[in-house]
């Protein structure tokens, strides 16, 4: 298992990223379930995965994935 690396707010901002605080209950469904239709464009499912993966990681890292 890889050691969790703390987020560097400045490095993230330099990459054009923004911080986002969400309720764990609102993250659980997207973390576990892709709602994209079967015929969704690959760009849409890729974007979905880029949201779902950190959602699951955030829950896991905070001991909230159960
Ligand atoms: Zn999806």
34: left (phi over 0), alpha (psi -120 to 50) or beta: beta
20 CA → ligand 1 middle, Å: 19
62 CA → ligand 1 middle, Å: 23
64 CA → ligand 1 middle, Å: 21
- What pLDDT band is residue 43 in, cutting at 50, 70 and 90? very high
66 CA → ligand 1 middle, Å: 21
- Answer yes or no: is pLDDT of 1 > 70: no
26 CA → ligand 1 middle, Å: 15
Q: Tell me: the pLDDT tens digits for 11-32?
A: 999 999 998 899 999 999 999 9
Mean predicted lDDT score pLDDT of the chain: 91
Report the distance separating Cα 46 and Cα 41, nearest Å: 9
């Amino acid at each position: 298992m890889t050691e969790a690396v703390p987020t560097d707010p400045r490095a993230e901002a330099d990459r054009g990223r923004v911080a986002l605080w969400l309720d764990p209950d609102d993250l659980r469904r997207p973390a576990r379930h892709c709602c994209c239709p079967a015929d969704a464009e690959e760009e849409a499912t890729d974007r979905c995965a880029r949201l779902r993966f950190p959602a699951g990681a955030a829950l896991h890292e905070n001991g909230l994935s159960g």
